[in-house]
Amino acid sequence: MADLGELPMQRLASGYAELDRVLGGGLVPGSLVLVGGDPGIGKSTLLLQSATAMGRERSVLYVSAEESAQQVKLRWQRLQGCGADLQLLAETDLELVLEELEALKPDVAIIDSIQALHDANLTSAPGSVAQVRECAASLQRLAKRQNTALVLVGHVTKEGVLAGPKVLEHLVDAVLTFEGDRFASHRLLRAVKNRYGATHELGVFEMRGQGLEEVGNPSELFLSGDQASGVATIVACEGTRPLVVDLQALVSTTSYASPRRTATGIAVNRLHQILAVLEKHMGLPLSRYDCYLAVAGGLDVEEPAADLGVAAAVVASYRDLTLPAGTVLLGELGLGGQLRAVPQLELRLQEAARLGFRRAVVPQASGMSAAAAALGLELLEASRITEALVMALGDGLVSQDEAG
Ligand code: TYD
Ligand code: MG
């Protein structure tokens, strides 16, 4: 019996390795991909650049429903896209878009955005749930029939993704989200759903004057370079991609009845739990301190493998200690204060070594001695939180008295 999963699947390279990575190897003909993200984050820029790159090899239709042809052309010139063979259509009427799609039968069609299209046969307003759903379904039927890879842009609205990506998630083959901090230049692209690839792969771009540029070595983005108290370095894994990331904590005496806990890039409940473990098992009176925690570069780190790094950052700030340079910390923290193994440890150690880190504090019985030695990493194995932190921060940690 033929295994469907093993049939070779044709993929169209998007022109950007970072985008291909998130797609699972490129666009699949006849598939429907939704790219969501806040307005202004760079969706149009990304897709126009990709369309331009693909236009050099195959037929691509770019439908701009939000900006005039003139606006898109200006942007395109800025992106130095001239010379590529790109069909541009500035149109909001679904009927006319379908006609063009059918006439051109392009390999790839990009609709920017699905919310700006409208079907004149429907009475509801453009951007409404019914319109978005109907327009997407009609486009998909045609695209599937003629094997066009279809990419839809969808805005995420502040009011809770109203008529945007959520409405379409079940219909499309893949949902990519483009995100980033308005105040920082890098942008992260992830797959939150992908029928043709793994989810949680991460693509990294940087917004420059000439558009988006790929960041092949994103770890450099997430290292603050600070050698300050309260900074700890971890290696997070986004899909199969290891990222060396700095965490920074600030612990200060509270002036509130209940202390403040704020976390950026890490779930605040996780922080609560780690603080409770430190209080209980190391005797630190953290309930009398405010605690702020931030992940450098605006990355979201969801995995428990970051626990030990969070704990180290908190304790270092509390003690006003600086972690020795070149040290990464990896480990999940159990409620009993024990350290638990983290997945993909070798991959993480390799990335740390690649970036010049020299020491890694990891959970006991990691089985990594040989691998670490080959990488030139000093491996420090610990079974409990206190042990790990003494290894990382030194004796200054235990020599002070806890009376305070
Ligand atoms: P855009 O792609 O229009 O966002 P979206 O389609 O998601 O709404 O990107 C808009 C922002 O990107 C805008 O604030 C200007 C900035 N930008 C650059 O910084 N450099 C560039 O080369 C381009 C084209 C845009
Ligand atoms: Mg746009």
Q: What digits encode the pLDDT tens for the residues 91-109?
A: 999 999 999 999 999 999 9
144 and 240 housed in the same domain: no
Instruction: Output the CA 83–ligand 1 centroid distance in Å.
Output: 21
Q: Whose CA is nearest to atom 13 of ligand 1?
A: 40
pLDDT (tens digit, 9 = 90+) per residue, 163-198? 456 788 889 999 999 988 766 788 999 898 999 988
Instruction: Output the CA 209–ligand 1 centroid distance in Å.
Output: 9
Instruction: Answer whether 0.85 is exceeded by the pTM.
Output: no
What is the average pLDDT across 212-226? 83
Alpha-carbon span 77 to 182, nearest angstrom: 24
Q: Is the CB of 209 under 6 A from ligand 1?
A: yes
70 and 116 housed in the same domain: yes
Asked if residue 198 belongs to a domain, the reply is yes
User: Which residues of 158-201 form beta strands (DSSP E)?
Assistant: 174-180, 186-194
Instruction: Output the CA 73–ligand 1 centroid distance in Å.
Output: 14
Q: Is the CB of 207 under 6 A from ligand 1?
A: yes
Is 296 or 319 the better-scoring residue by pLDDT?
319
Contact between 131 and 124 under an 8 Å Cβ cutoff? The reply is yes
Alpha-carbon span 306 to 237, nearest angstrom: 10
Which residue type sits at 107? Answer: D
* Per-residue confidence (pLDDT) for residue 18, from 0 to 100: 94
Inform me whether the pLDDT recorded for 304 exceeds 50.
yes
Instruction: Output the CA 20–ligand 2 centroid distance in Å.
Output: 20
Contact between 338 and 364 under an 8 Å Cβ cutoff? The reply is no
DSSP 8-state assignment for residue 56: T
What is the average pLDDT across 280-306? 92
| Domain endpoint, select from 190, 216, 242 | 216
* Per-residue confidence (pLDDT) for residue 401, from 0 to 100: 45
3-state secondary structure of 182: coil
Alpha-carbon span 376 to 39, nearest angstrom: 45
Asked if residue 4 belongs to a domain, the reply is no
115 and 191 housed in the same domain: yes
pLDDT confidence bin for 65, thresholds 50/70/90: very high
- Structural domain of 208: 17-216
pLDDT (tens digit, 9 = 90+) per residue, 352-393? 999 999 999 999 999 999 999 999 999 999 999 999 999 998
pLDDT confidence bin for 399, thresholds 50/70/90: very low
Instruction: Output the CA 179–ligand 1 centroid distance in Å.
Output: 12
Inform me whether the pLDDT recorded for 215 exceeds 80.
yes
DSSP 8-state assignment for residue 118: B
320 and 374 housed in the same domain: yes
* Per-residue confidence (pLDDT) for residue 143, from 0 to 100: 96
Alpha-carbon span 214 to 208, nearest angstrom: 10
113 and 209 housed in the same domain: yes
pLDDT confidence bin for 216, thresholds 50/70/90: confident
- CATH number for 249: 3.30.230.10
| Domain endpoint, select from 171, 195, 216 | 216
Asked if residue 10 belongs to a domain, the reply is no
Instruction: Please give the C-alpha separations between residue 127 and each of 66, 164, 213, in angstroms, as whole numbers.
Output: 12, 8, 31
Inform me whether the pLDDT recorded for 162 exceeds 50.
no
Instruction: Please state the domain count of the chain.
Output: 2
Q: Whose CA is nearest to atom 12 of ligand 1?
A: 42
* Per-residue confidence (pLDDT) for residue 394, from 0 to 100: 84
Alpha-carbon span 251 to 317, nearest angstrom: 6
Contact between 36 and 204 under an 8 Å Cβ cutoff? The reply is no
| Domain endpoint, select from 173, 190, 216 | 216
Q: Select from 57, 22, 337, 71 the least CA-distant residue to 201.
A: 22
pLDDT (tens digit, 9 = 90+) per residue, 239-262? 778 999 999 999 999 988 899 999
93 and 241 housed in the same domain: no
138 and 42 housed in the same domain: yes
Alpha-carbon span 329 to 127, nearest angstrom: 47
Where b means 16+ CB within 10 Å and e means fewer, 248-262 reads: bbbbeebeeeebebe
Helix, strand and coil in the chain, % to nearest 5: 35, 25, 40
Which residue type sits at 308? Answer: L
Extract the tokens encoding 1: 């019996």
* Per-residue confidence (pLDDT) for residue 402, from 0 to 100: 46
Asked if residue 1 belongs to a domain, the reply is no
* Per-residue confidence (pLDDT) for residue 290, from 0 to 100: 97
Percentage of the chain exceeding pLDDT 70 = 92
Asked if residue 103 belongs to a domain, the reply is yes
Residue reference for tokens 């019996």: 1
Inform me whether the pLDDT recorded for 218 exceeds 80.
yes
324 and 367 housed in the same domain: yes
Ligand 2 ion local residues (Cβ < 5 A): 44
Task: Enumerate the β-bridge partners of residue 213.
Answer: 206
Q: Which residues contact 56 (CB under 8 A, 6 or more apart)?
A: 15, 84, 85
Q: Whose CA is nearest to atom 22 of ligand 1?
A: 211
Q: Is the CB of 129 under 6 A from ligand 1?
A: no
Which residue type sits at 13? Answer: A
165 and 289 housed in the same domain: no
Percentage of the chain exceeding pLDDT 90 = 67
* Per-residue confidence (pLDDT) for residue 83, from 0 to 100: 60
β-strands 202-208, 87-90 pairing: unpaired
130 and 156 housed in the same domain: yes
What is the average pLDDT across 211-237? 86
What value does the mean pLDDT of the chain take?
A: 89
3-state secondary structure of 238: strand
User: Which residues of 81-133 form beta strands (DSSP E)?
Assistant: 87-90, 108-112
What is the average pLDDT across 271-297? 95
Inform me whether the pLDDT recorded for 1 exceeds 50.
no
Which ligand is the nearest neighbour of the Cα of 65?
2
Asked if residue 391 belongs to a domain, the reply is yes
Asked if residue 5 belongs to a domain, the reply is no
Pocket test for ligand 1, best of 207, 208, 210, 212 (most atoms within 8 A of CB): 207
What is the average pLDDT across 215-241? 85
3-state secondary structure of 286: helix
CA 252 to chain centre: 30
